[in-house]
Amino acid sequence: MSTAPRRRTRLGFGEFVPHDEAVEFARWVFLEEVARLYPDVLADLRTRTADDLADWAQAWNLNDPWILEFAEATRRTWTEYPSVGNYWSDRDQPGEIAAIQRRPTPPVYYPELQSRGQYLEAHQAYLDECERLASRAGTRPPRKDPTHFEWLIHYQVGHESYAALSMKDSSITSPRTMSGRCKSLASFIGLTRRPARQRSSTAKAQK
């Protein structure tokens, strides 16, 4: 396997993002990867009614409230637009995103009164002040190895063990290391990991 550094997924769009926005971004990446790696998850959701949504969540180890909110929004989309394919729909109210309440005034360039260098110095100070204010509400967007999403999903939804997963990747030296990586990502997105010795209920999910 190549030892080249893996690309890392940037969890946000801007230079600074609030923590909650980064988490929301990561949750969406997680669900998109679930749909890619285990398309039966959405196929099964499509056959469910509101009354047995909890059974669907239990079958796929996707029990956390935020996942159920996405599932409910997705079902509503299918009800209203039956021709839509098996894709996740975003939650109706993902929450408020913090923003800078007071922004500095950008400098204006007067070439008849100042040199280009003077203006660029003022413009750099403006950028620095914008970033200083933004950093109060958020941090640099964290970056996550997309492979960690795959590992966590194979463990959570596919019922693969940490030992089996660690044998598939030469960069992981032990099951404990694999467990640690998955635990870190699960904690970040608010995913309750399944018990390590849980038996697969996928067969029941496809009844």
Residues 6+ apart with CB under 8 A from 23: 11, 188, 189, 190
In this predicted structure, the answer to whether residue 38 has a pLDDT above a threshold of 80 is yes
Range from 27-31, 89-93, 134-138, 188-192 carrying the lowest mean pLDDT = 134-138
For residue 85, CA distances in Å to 23, 57, 74, 95, 158 come to: 26, 20, 10, 26, 22
Q: What is the pLDDT at residue 144? A: 75
pLDDT of residue 1: 36
Higher pLDDT, 19 or 73: 73
Does the structure show a pLDDT above 60 at 99? no
pLDDT of residue 12: 67
Among the listed residues 139, 124, 123, 132, the one whose alpha carbon sits nearest the alpha carbon of residue 102: 132
- Of 39-53, 58-72, 106-120, 139-153, least confident by mean pLDDT is 139-153
**pLDDT value, residue 10:** 66
Q: What is the pLDDT of residue 69?
A: 94
Section 31-45 average pLDDT:
97
Q: Where are the domains of the chain?
A: 9-94+141-193, 99-137
For 27, the token pair is 């949750």
Mean pLDDT, residues 112-116 taken together:
92
Q: Is the pLDDT of residue 4 over 50?
A: no
For the stretch 143-154, pLDDT in tens is 778 889 999 999
Q: Given a cut of 50, is residue 205 above it in pLDDT?
A: no
Question: What is the DSSP-derived secondary structure letter of residue 33?
Answer: H
What pLDDT is recorded for position 136?
72
% of the chain surpassing 90 pLDDT: 57
- Give tens-digit pLDDT for 55-83: 999 999 999 999 999 999 999 999 999 99
What pLDDT does 140 receive? 62
Helix (H) or strand (E) holding 156: helix 146-156
pLDDT at 36 over 90: yes
Query: In the Cβ-directed half-sphere of 28, how many Cα atoms lie within 13 Å?
Result: 14
Does residue 71 contact residue 60 with C-beta atoms inside 8 Å? no
Instruction: Tell me the average pLDDT across 160-176.
Output: 90
Would you say residue 19 has pLDDT above 90?
A: no
